[in-house]
Amino acid sequence: MECHINELSKKIASGISAIKRVRYSVPCKTLISIYNSLVQPHLDYCSSVWGSCSKSLSQKLQKLQNRAARVITFKRDRQCLVDKSIMMYNIVNNMVPDYLSSHFVFLSDTLTYNLRDSDCSLAIPQHRTNYCKRSLAYSGAVLWNSLPLEIRQSPSLDEFKSKVMNYNFDSRYM
């Protein structure tokens, strides 16, 4: 049974990889159709036979099914954005140590003239490499500036968390 489950796992993982490759360019409904075509049939076929396999083998299949669900719903990516947004709220509102907040500058502090919502926007640091783009100083500032002003101006951390949890992040950040 172990050999069969390993082969089954490879086929399922291949289907999940296909979904992952197209998930940013197709609607969620299409992702579900792809899942139903490439992954679900492998789980359904002869499930009564492999359904009585050992707990470790059935957990292997369950983990793959959970992974497919995360890929389709962008769960992990979204959770990272929510966590980073909360970190940025704490940084902007001086709720972190100075060594962390010293990497960020408000846009209003760098301008000689006033722009709309520049009080709440962060200056985006110059970057030359993708490594810099992945840093918190760069990606955090870009993410923070992309949030609606209403969310950024939340008066409390609890209110901010509530709003950001309900915010629909743009797919380019995921």
Instruction: Specify whether the CB–CB gap between 108 and 118 falls below 8 A.
Output: yes
Taking all residues of the chain, what is their mean pLDDT, rounded to a whole number?
Answer: 84
Mean pLDDT computed over 147-167? 93
> What's the one-letter identity of residue 67?
R
- pLDDT single digits (tens) 40-49: 998 888 677 6
pLDDT more than 90, % of the chain: 39
pLDDT band at 132 (very low <50, low <70, confident <90, very high): confident
Residue 122's SS3 state is strand
Quick one: tokens of 12?
A: 């399922």
**144 exposed, middle or buried (CB, 10 Å; 0-12, 13-18, 19+)?**
buried
Residue 108 confidence (pLDDT): 63
> pTM of the entire structure?
0.58
Q: Would the pLDDT of 155 be above 80?
A: yes
Most confident among 7-16, 70-79, 114-123, 133-142 (mean pLDDT): 7-16
Mean pLDDT computed over 79-103? 90
Q: Would the pLDDT of 115 be above 90?
A: no
Residue closest to 6 by CA, chosen among 50, 36, 41, 48 = 50
Q: Would the pLDDT of 158 be above 90?
A: yes
Mean pLDDT computed over 79-91? 91
Residue 56 confidence (pLDDT): 87
pLDDT band at 50 (very low <50, low <70, confident <90, very high): low
Residue 4 confidence (pLDDT): 85
Residue 23's SS3 state is coil
Instruction: Specify whether the CB–CB gap between 61 and 9 falls below 8 A.
Output: yes
